[in-house]
Structure 1
Amino acid sequence: MKTMSSGLAAHLDGEVTTLACLWRLERADGWVRGFTDHDQDIAYLGLNYVASTGFLPSAIKSGADLSVDNLDVDGFLDDDALKPEDLTAGRFDGARIDIMLVNWANLAQGHVLLRRGWLGEVKRADQRFSAEVRGIANRLQQTSGQLYSRLCRTDLGSAECTVDLVPLTDTLTISAVASGDTFTVPTARSSGFYTFGICTFLTGANAGAATEILSQIGQSVTLFTPMSRLIATGDQVRLVAGCDKTIETCHSRFSNVLNFRGEPHIPGNDKVFSYPVRD
């Protein structure tokens, strides 16, 4: 059941309404921005909701059977706050979104909260984007618990892993750029040290973006995917050692086999076919 002020309820019951939708978007890094489908900006509760992006919501469906609610939001990438590079880099993944309905002619009547959720899959084409809004019920469909695995289930440096990442982390300056996903840094680490690790850009056009490292051969580092913005000589990066999650690497490189979270000795399908067949 939606709650609203008596004034807004009376306005909704009227023959003529002056309604507008507001979208409040908050990323995980604390970045907050407001958008509206009204033809003018709306200042509400200390935030300016800009009208330049042309947001269009799909029909909002809610049920009492705990089924996942459906809602998509479409819009144009014509606002400085919504850059294609940021969408591609995943900076809006998991961002919280509140969708409200207000009477733009009398904002003192308050709002009714239509939906609260998180951004899921984001697609873009040309100068348009489409974002899926996932409600709380979506979390009931997520797999919980742990599965048996030949490889370790934890990330290097996590609480279960316990490996200290401080001596395995380096802050370096890019000395040469080969492409959008390959660059050179002055490191004395052996080849493969950063493979499957994390690269975080500290300065430059990609500052704040983090991505996985595909491989490291000598001083050459290759990322899994090209960065959304140009990598430039002089950019500072923070490189963290990687782990291929095998028990051999856990033992030989990190001496942490007691905290290995995998089952490397469980027989697989190849064991089934190795038994002799009886006539």
Structure 2
Amino acid sequence: MSQNPLQEVELYAFASNSAQFYLTPHEFDVDLDGNLYASLSIERNELALGAEAAKSALDLKLPPDCDLVRHLLATSLTGDTTSVTLRIGRRDSWGDYWWISGTRWMGRVLGVEVADDVARVRCESAQVSLKRIGLRRLYSRKCSHVLYSSACGASPMTASAFVLEVYGRSVELDGGVPGWVSGGLAGGWLQTPDGARHMIIGDYGSGVELLYPAALEPGTEVLLTVGCDHSTATCQTRFDNLDNYGGFPAIPSKNPFSTGVF
């Protein structure tokens, strides 16, 4: 009697400084090397064949309410990079033993977009990012650190509030914006009880204005996180964090190539 053919599955590993996720798009979970790859509806684009596959961008579609999407939305505000590895798993049907037969793609998450029924995750190949020429940090007068990231080092400043009414992008709060955060929420975010974060572009005493409209029910408790305009004055007075300031405010404004040295 001949041995049954090997079964093949795709295995996705997402890893950041704060969390790890192991997923598979197949209808069953895969237990391999102590990691449980949970079954989840995942669609991806077609990758190139051969050596070009490793250089291709990876575009994924996932359920918008899954834990991975919530994590990516949170880390997009904190600057925590999430790596992605796509491996191929095989199983010998005789012994029911899973093993990794190879790695098809490696890279990092660039961004996530959420619609009503699907979340789209864009990923960049490691080969592309490693070969990119130039500095990764921006050389600018204002700080280029992502607020509250490990490079920033500032401690998050938050306040709780209850939603009174919502008018498009404007969210009225019961009792208004807490006094001690009033005037400092621009560049921060409003977080809902399920972990979704909505960027705040300004506050006006009785409420806040979001970048995009959000469906919030009256009475919902939200968490308001203070923002930053990335200036030295705000870094010092609001966060007392000038030692970690990532900008270069003393860059000369005179261009010696157009005005001369003297």
Q: Which TM class, normalised by the smaller chain length?
A: 0.5 to 0.7
Residue matched to 1:34: 24
Residue matched to 1:184: 172
Residue matched to 1:83: 64
Residue matched to 1:137: 127
Residue matched to 2:230: 245
Q: Would you say the 8 A contact 2:11–2:89 is kept in 1?
A: no
* Unaligned runs of at least 5 residues, structure 2: 77-81
The 1-side partners of 2:236 and 2:137 are apart by 22
Letter in 2 for 1:153: S
Residue matched to 1:8: none
Q: How does 1:29-178 map to 2 (within 5 A)?
A: 29-36=19-26, 41=28, 43-45=30-32, 47=36, 50=39, 57-62=46-51, 69-70=55-56, 72=58, 82-83=63-64, 90-91=72-73, 94=82, 96-103=84-91, 105-106=93-94, 107-108=96-97, 110-115=99-104, 117=106, 118-120=108-110, 132-141=122-131, 144=135, 146-155=137-146, 165=156, 168-178=157-167
Q: Would you say the 8 A contact 1:194–1:215 is kept in 2?
A: yes
Determine helix, strand or coil for the equivalent of 2:229: coil
Aligned-residue offset at 1:109: 6.1
Q: Would you say the 8 A contact 2:191–2:198 is kept in 1?
A: yes
The 2-side partners of 1:111 and 1:22 are apart by 10
C-alpha spacing 1:132/1:178, structure 2 compared with 1 (3 Å): closer
Deviations 1:216-275 (A, max 9, x none): 111221222344xx22222222222222122344456556667644333434479987x6
- Percent of aligned pairs with the same amino acid: 19
Residue matched to 1:5: none
The 1-side partners of 2:116 and 2:153 are apart by 45
The 2-side partners of 1:162 and 1:128 are apart by 33
C-alpha spacing 1:120/1:19, structure 2 compared with 1 (3 Å): farther
Q: Would you say the 8 A contact 2:57–2:123 is kept in 1?
A: yes
Residue matched to 1:208: 195
Determine helix, strand or coil for the equivalent of 2:97: helix
C-alpha spacing 1:103/1:160, structure 2 compared with 1 (3 Å): closer
The 1-side partners of 2:204 and 2:195 are apart by 24
Determine helix, strand or coil for the equivalent of 2:184: coil
Alignment counterpart, residue 217 of structure 2, candidates 208, 226, 232: 232
Aligned-residue offset at 1:113: 2.4
The 1-side partners of 2:58 and 2:148 are apart by 36
Q: Larger C-alpha radius of gyration, 1 or 2? A: 1
Query: Which protein is richer in strand relative to its size?
Result: 2
RMSD of Structure 2 on Structure 1 (CA): 4.5
Q: Would you say the 8 A contact 1:198–1:242 is kept in 2?
A: yes
TM-score, normalisation: structure 2 = 0.65
Letter in 1 for 2:56: N
Letter in 2 for 1:137: Q
Letter in 2 for 1:171: S
Q: Would you say the 8 A contact 1:61–1:69 is kept in 2?
A: no
